[in-house]
Amino acid sequence: MDCSVQIHNNLKNLSDVCIVDESYLPACFFLSNYMETAFADRAFSTRYTYAKTLLFIYRYFTDQSIDLVERVESGKFLTAEEYDDFKRHCKYKVEADFENDKSNVVSFERFSDKQLDNLIHASQSTESRASAFTIKERLRLFFGYIEDLYNVFHFANNADKSVRDDFADLELKVKTDIRALKDENTDVSDPFDQAIPDEVFFKILEIIKPASPKNPWTQQVRLRNQLIVDTFIEAGIREGALAGLKISDIKHDHDKPRLLITRTPNDPTDTRKIPAAQKTKAHSSAISHGTMKLLKLYIETERSKYPKAKTHDFIFVSEKGNTRGEPLKLGSINKIIDVLSHAVDFKLHPHLFRHKWNEIFEKRARKAGLTPEQIEDIRKYAMGWVEDSKMSGTYNSFMHAMLVHELSTQRQNESLPAQGESNGDN
């Protein structure tokens, strides 16, 4: 059965997701019910991500001719071998277009376990292996679905002790594997690697200028695309936050140009199939006077050309085809950055600019003499993180590596005698 994730408008006319079969009917009533009840209060982007993960799970067990609903109802669950096979499958990337899927799941059935491991270890990279976060998410949602089915069939029915024990064993096994995954993630990156190397970064700053002979975009969209990249660089925001920026979020009073990064879940004015979403706390982001001037120029001269742009307040709009003037889609933003990737011969994606923002911020903050505590307080606000967030470690590995290297070099220089000096030994 060919299944896919489909986006639709629910009874409240809000974007929602469902896993459907080839006839666009819900693939499984119980799976749909789980998605509806467990994730009802989550942002659309989160529900969409979870739906794709659950589709990965549903497809796997369907391909294995395992009916999870029937298994849980009967109290049999999975054998140890079946669970281990699924866990192994979770460790590998499966590239898929979940919206336009025909036969897009890479089947690993023709490979033995040993062959799969050999494929991964044949090179020094781990490109075929999913990240620890992805594996954990797959296992977590798998057990969440099993637990939901268990509650449906057994929670109020005084299940046999053997059924309760088997369920408890599976729960312990999955949760133990999730906790242990931090030791299994073999992806190791060099902390001295910058998110975007400086030479590439400076190249980006040059070729995004509309007058640059190496600008990769058509003349019609160059100003808009420059502003998109400049906003990523200067504000350090996520692509969902950028797609959700509105004209009313632009503030230039008191000679302090800035953008308000707001949270507006289920925004009724957002007509996009996949609405914009801001994951972190609401905050404001400073931008340069130059970018502020370009934003005003774009709004007054480019954006104003399209009648559809007058029906909403979103800053960045489509400038081609039947969607001209409509809010720019997340997929379009990614395509803009992808074209830029080819122009600078370096793989870019919107979130890399957020990492680069943190590198630049760290350098400037240290140069300004700010204490580590001050730096972290400012960073948490600028990134929209909660007070107890640990995200700084994710973005700061490069600067930490540089600092450790500097301190180690200084210590070595102090402990070693200068060239030409004797240490007293003959």
Instruction: Write down the number of H helices and E strands in the chain.
Output: 16, 5
Q: From CA 150, how far away is CA 4, in angstroms rounded?
A: 25
What one-letter code names the amino acid at 273? K
CATH for the 198-354 domain, from 2.40.110.10, 1.10.443.10, 3.40.50.2000, 1.20.120.80 = 1.10.443.10
Kindly tell me if the per-residue pLDDT of 280 is higher than 70: no
Torsion angle defined by CA atoms of residues 159, 162, 167 and 172, in that order, rounded to the nearest 10 degrees = 140
Top-confidence residue, 247 or 411: 247
Report how far apart, in Å, the C-alpha atoms of 396 and of each of 55, 125, 185, 380, 403 are. Answer: 34, 23, 20, 13, 11
Residue with tokens 């629910």: 10
Burial class (CB in 10 A: 0-12, 13-18, 19+), 263: middle
The 10 Å Cβ neighbour count of residue 276 is 26
Kindly tell me if the per-residue pLDDT of 362 is higher than 80: no
pLDDT above 70 coverage of the chain, percent: 76
pTM over 0.85: no
**Mean pLDDT within 321-325:** 93
Confidence of residue 122 (pLDDT cuts 50, 70, 90): very low
Instruction: Give the pLDDT of residue 376.
Output: 73
Cβ(243)–Cβ(311) under 8 Å?
no
Q: From CA 79, how far away is CA 102, in angstroms rounded?
A: 30
Q: From CA 5, how far away is CA 18, in angstroms rounded?
A: 6
CA gyration radius, the chain: 26
Kindly tell me if the per-residue pLDDT of 414 is higher than 60: no
Cβ(140)–Cβ(53) under 8 Å?
no
What one-letter code names the amino acid at 253? D
Q: What residues contact residue 225 under an 8 Å CB cut-off, 6+ apart?
A: 208, 217, 336, 340
Residue with tokens 């760290």: 362
Question: What's the gap between Cα 147 and its chain centre?
Answer: 26
- Boundaries of CATH 1.10.443.10 in the chain? 198-354
77: left (phi over 0), alpha (psi -120 to 50) or beta: left
| Phi/psi at 374 (5° precision) | -65, -40
pLDDT tens track for 368-402: 887 777 777 777 666 665 555 455 554 555 555 55
Cβ(287)–Cβ(57) under 8 Å?
no
Strand segments, DSSP code E, in 176-331 are: 250-251, 258-261, 283-286
